[in-house]
A and B are shown apart, each in its own frame.
Chain A
Amino acid sequence: MNNPEENKQSLSEIMISKIKTGEIKMKPKFYFVLKLLLLLLGVIVLTFLALFLVSFIIFSLRVNGILASPKAGFWGFKILFSSLPWVLILGVILLIATSELFAKHFPFIYRRPVLYSTLGIILIVILGGFIIDRTNLHQNLFSMAKRGELRIVGPMYKDFGLPKLQNVHYGIVEEITEDGFTIETPRDEEIAIIISSNTKLPDNEIEQGEALLILGKRTNHTVKAYEVRPANKDFDFFPDRARPMPQINENLPSVNQPPDNSPAPPNGYQLQIDFE
């Protein structure tokens, strides 16, 4: 072992003898191709999962009206930040990081700084998320979840579809009062909305039966409105009732009892969620 020449000789001899006796065998090419394909599949699946989650987050924020809240300035940003589903966001970060770890095995990825590939994946996931949000995918999945047809992701839709948010209130206008109006929330509560000169109001006049989203601090059954805006038309706040159509004349349809001849609700109005 001490003589380098002897050592050199012996190592090659040992190796050849191990090969000849079948002690060591070459792994087939198929094994490596399969390994590479699995890695690639892993990257694709993880990226798609991240894409799905991001598009779901965007969808959930959009239908709840939170995505547009930064328009209200600092207060809106505060609402957006406090309403972000951090568990899902953490999930997305973990998926991206794992995808990056898998991708690092490919020379065209590891030869470049991680920053480039990470930014690439983040860009794909965010842009893709917005594109998927524009499709009906999540709305359809939402309906399926309500019907109990989605076992795995169903609870996710129910949990995040209409979360209880601080300072964000939804409801249908019941009555116009002197200092504002009252709404009936999806949780069957009646809340008085107080409007002041600082309240940002929608362009149209607030009318009875209208679905609204109100940003403001709640004290017991009263909300001092900071902003009032029409609720997202793609979202059904009262899944057990027909949604009132925009009021075009004096004969308003009743919120609780829609007329028999009321037109069929548009596609997006079919979304259903649990409010328990």
Chain B
Amino acid sequence: MDQISDGVEMKNDEEIARLIQSGRVEFFDALVKRYEVKISRYARKFLSDKDDIGDVLQDIFIKVYTNIKSFDANRKFSSWIYRIAHNELVNALKKRKNKILPLIDLDIFLPYNISKDDFNKNNDQQDVKKIVEECLGQLTEKYKEIIILYYLEELSYKEIADILQIPVSTAGIRIKRGREMMQSIHKNIKHKYE
């Protein structure tokens, strides 16, 4: 097991996934350790109950293991695991909140121009994360998830598009709108405390 631990540090996620696919299931432990914190942090933004988070987390990793042979090792493992996490969280939210999420979103129909993100440029990375954390509670589900993926999980537009299975330009426009909402929410919060 120690030999595995030594070697696994040098390998990227995709290489580890390939090893698991070939039957080296002992490497799955490494993937769980790499992603447990990230996925747990991601799930915490949607679920508040610790037991719920624990259950969903376990379901996510069970899905990862059972479906690992569907993963294309030429693509990014992080997008794939976040996609599974997204689906599990959507299902969990449906069950817990008894809420039906919209099936069709008009955003995915039309092409959009992706604008450059000046939010990151004008603010320090830590400040951005702080602002995001402050505003998340007031954002709608539609923008909340994409803002988490972009600003907190630091994923690219393309990765987010793959996770949410939406056009890249839609990911861009939603981030832009979410950012505008955050700026307005942040302004109000600041105004309140001044």
Q: Give 30 pairs: A residue, B residue, CB < 8 Å, sorted on A.
A: A7-B54, A8-B33, A8-B37, A11-B57, A11-B58, A12-B29, A15-B28, A15-B29, A15-B32, A15-B65, A16-B28, A16-B29, A18-B62, A19-B65, A24-B66, A26-B25, A26-B69, A27-B66, A27-B70, A29-B70, A32-B70, A104-B165, A110-B165, A111-B167, A112-B167, A113-B110, A113-B111, A114-B109, A115-B110, A118-B109
Whether B25 pairs with A28 at a CB distance below 8 angstroms is: no
Q: Report A162 CB to chain B, min CB distance, Å.
A: 39
Chain A 14-63 residues near chain B, CB threshold 8 A: 14-16, 18-19, 24-29, 31-32
- Interfacial chain A residues near B33, Cβ < 8 Å: 8, 12
On B, residues with C-beta under 8 Å from A are 21, 25-26, 28-29, 32-33, 36-37, 50, 54, 57-58, 61-62, 65-70, 108-111, 158, 161-162, 165-170
Known A110-B165, A113-B170; contact A26-B36, beta-carbon cutoff 8 A? no
Question: Would you list which residues of chain A between 124 and 140 have a CB under 8 Å from chain B?
Answer: none
> In whole Å, how far is A140's beta carbon from the nearest beta carbon of chain B?
39
Q: Does A116 interact with chain B (Cβ within 8 Å)?
A: yes
Judge whether B168 and A111 touch: CB under 8 Å.
Answer: yes
Does A107 sit at the interface, judged by CB under 8 A? yes
A28 & B162 in contact (Cβ 8 Å cutoff): no
Contact assessment for B62 and A11 in the assembled complex, using a CB-CB cutoff below 8 Å: no
Residue from A11, A28, A112, A113 in contact with B69 in the complex, judged by beta carbons closer than 8 Å? A28
Is A248's CB within 8 Å of the partner chain B?
Answer: no
| Chain B nearest CB, measured from A24 CB (Å) | 5
Give the residues in chain B near A26, CB-CB below 8 Å.
21, 25, 65-66, 68-69
Query: Known contacts A26-B65, A114-B109: does B168 contact A11 (CB below 8 Å)?
Result: no
Query: A25: which B residues are within 8 A, CB to CB?
Result: 66
Shortest beta-carbon distance from A33 to chain B in Å: 9
Q: Is the CB of A116 within 8 A of B111?
A: yes
Top 6 nearest A-B pairs (CB, nearest first) are A32-B70, A12-B32, A113-B111, A29-B69, A110-B165, A114-B109
B61 near A11 (CB under 8 angstroms)? yes
> Which of the residues A11, A111, A112 comes within 8 Å of B32, measured between beta carbons?
A11
Known: A114-B109, A114-B167. 18 other contacts (CB 8 A): A4-B37, A8-B33, A11-B36, A11-B57, A11-B61, A24-B65, A26-B25, A27-B66, A29-B69, A32-B70, A105-B165, A110-B165, A110-B166, A111-B162, A112-B111, A114-B108, A115-B110, A118-B109
Given the complex, which residues of A lie within 8 Å of B25, measured CB to CB? Answer: 19, 26
